[in-house]
Structure 1
Amino acid sequence: MDWVISDELSLTVGTVVGWVSAGAMIVGGIIPYIPQYRQIRKTKDAEGFSLLVCLALLVANTLRIMFWFGRHFEYPLLIQSLIMNVMMFLMIHLCVSVRNRSQLVQARQRIFLDFDAKHFWNWTDFQSYFDCILVFTIATSLLMYIFIDYIVFVETVGFLALFTEAMLGTPQLVKNYRNKSTEGMSISMVIMWTGGDIFKTTYFLLREAPVQFWVCGSVQVTVDLLILSQVFIYRGNAEPKRTGPHRGD
């Protein structure tokens, strides 16, 4: 009788842990961006945050959603992707608003429909960013609909989704290197990135997610650690040392 109760208790505990882990996966991804969002809103300065981070996450999570239609993985990971896209659009809207308000002289409007490659992802209105991702979503949806029965295509989409996400910190890493400073970047955000990515990669391993998930998760943790090392290396540089304009500013 005791062993029956023990088994039921273990099952209950396992179920609770599973639900907690799933909940952490769903909301944990957006938590690191809350300190950065609050910092930009408070300081009215978005120069320390690279919008290419938002591009990487929007592309990665849109591809991950497409991957789900070809190979169903756990619902918490799907929901996480949907919520993350919403958060990235909120970040973009804030950054664009702050930059437009901070300009003493109104610059010439640059929009997505100009199709000017040198200003890609450096537009002056929020609608352009939304339109770009909408076009990307429609294109990837059509391709997945046409090639959904081809396993190689589906697995490639899954790999691209997770590899893109794994490299999301790279724009911030490069921006810090060019400026020789981490001024304007939320250190709390990067610490949360690292902790969340370690948890996420462990979750992938324990839940036996497709191999793309945990391999790319390991790469993501490595990039996070490199950014944290920049905080130590550039700790004496209070002001960014500009190297000239570059994409993502």
Structure 2
Amino acid sequence: MDWVISDELSLTVGHVVGWVSAGAMIIGGVIPYIPQYRQIKKTKDAEGFSLLVCLALLIANTLRILFWFGKHFEYPLLLQSLIMSITMFAMIHLCVKTRNRNQLQQARQRIFTDFNAKNFWNWSDFQSYLDCMLVFTIIASLLMYLFIEYIIFVELVGFLAVFTEAMLGMPQLIKNYRCSSTEGMSLTMVILWTCGDIFKTLYFILREAPMQFWICGSMQVIIDLLILLQVYIYKDNTDTTRYGPHRID
């Protein structure tokens, strides 16, 4: 009887741990952006945050959602992509609103339908960002529909999804190296990124997610650790606590 109770208890604990891990996986990715959102609202200054971060994450999570149709993976990972996409649109909306408000004089409106490559992802209205991602999603969805029977194509979409997200820190890493400085980067934010990426990668491995997930997750952790190493190497060159975070310039 004791061993039956012990097995039932172990099973219950396992379920609880599984649900907690899944919950952390779903919301953990957006937590580092909450302080940034609040900081922009408080200071009414969005210059410390690059909207290219939002572009990369929107592309990555859109591709991940499409990948799910070709190769089902766990629902928490799918839900995470949906929540992250909503979060990035919220960040874009706030940044565009803040930047327009801070303009000393009304500048010429830059919109998506101008099809001006010079102004790409630097538009004056939030609707343009929605339009751009809508066009991308339609094209990507059509390609997935046409080639969903081709496993190589499906696997490629999955790889591009997680690889795009994994490379988020690379421009920041290169910028720090060229400047021999980590000025403009929040140490707290990088630590949150690192902790989240380590947890995410372990989750991928333990839950036997598709190979692309944990390989690119490992790459992301390595980049995070290299950025933290730069903080130590360049600590005498800058004060890394005075500035807002931005992974991509």
Same fold (TM over 0.5): yes
Question: Offset at 1:133?
Answer: 0.5
Whether 1:84 aligns to 2:84 is yes
Question: Offset at 1:3?
Answer: 1.3
Question: Offset at 1:105?
Answer: 2.5
1:148 partner amino acid: I
Question: Offset at 1:149?
Answer: 0.8
Question: Offset at 1:141?
Answer: 0.8
Aligned counterparts of 1:150 and 1:33: Cα–Cα separation in 2: 36
Q: Give the aligned partner of residue 245 of structure 2.
A: none
1:237 partner amino acid: T
Q: Give the aligned partner of residue 54 of structure 1.
A: 54
Alignment of 1:90-101 (within 5 A): 90-101=90-101
Q: Deviations over 1:162-188 (max 9, x none)?
A: 000111223444555677665554433
Whether 1:129 aligns to 2:132 is no
Question: Offset at 1:6?
Answer: 1.1
Q: Deviations over 1:72-130 (max 9, x none)?
A: 00000000000000000011111111111222122221111111112111111111111
Q: Relative to 1, partners in 2 of residues 1:80 and 1:42: Cα closer, same or farther, differing over 3 Å?
A: same
Q: Give the aligned partner of residue 4 of structure 1.
A: 4
Question: Offset at 1:12?
Answer: 0.7
Q: Give the aligned partner of residue 238 of structure 2.
A: 237
2:103 partner amino acid: Q
| Equivalent residues of 1:46, 1:184 under 8 A apart | no
Alignment of 1:189-204 (within 5 A): 189-204=189-204
| Equivalent residues of 1:35, 1:186 under 8 A apart | no
Secondary structure in 2 matching 1:169: helix
| Equivalent residues of 1:176, 1:230 under 8 A apart | yes
Q: Relative to 1, partners in 2 of residues 1:33 and 1:151: Cα closer, same or farther, differing over 3 Å?
A: same
Secondary structure in 2 matching 1:94: helix
| Equivalent residues of 1:50, 1:171 under 8 A apart | no
Whether 1:36 aligns to 2:31 is no
1:66 partner amino acid: L
Q: Relative to 1, partners in 2 of residues 1:130 and 1:36: Cα closer, same or farther, differing over 3 Å?
A: same
Unaligned runs of 5+ in 2: 241-247
Secondary structure in 1 matching 2:142: helix
Q: Give the aligned partner of residue 209 of structure 1.
A: 209
Q: Relative to 1, partners in 2 of residues 1:230 and 1:130: Cα closer, same or farther, differing over 3 Å?
A: farther
Q: Give the aligned partner of residue 170 of structure 2.
A: 170
Q: Give the aligned partner of residue 18 of structure 1.
A: 18
Aligned counterparts of 1:192 and 1:81: Cα–Cα separation in 2: 18
Aligned counterparts of 1:50 and 1:148: Cα–Cα separation in 2: 34
Aligned counterparts of 1:95 and 1:34: Cα–Cα separation in 2: 13
Q: Relative to 1, partners in 2 of residues 1:174 and 1:92: Cα closer, same or farther, differing over 3 Å?
A: farther
Q: Which moved more, 1:225-234 or 1:26-35?
A: 225-234
TM-score, structure 1 as length reference: 0.89
Q: Relative to 1, partners in 2 of residues 1:124 and 1:234: Cα closer, same or farther, differing over 3 Å?
A: farther
Q: Relative to 1, partners in 2 of residues 1:183 and 1:100: Cα closer, same or farther, differing over 3 Å?
A: farther
Count of residue correspondences = 241
1:124 partner amino acid: S
Unaligned runs of 5+ in 1: 240-247
Identity %: 78
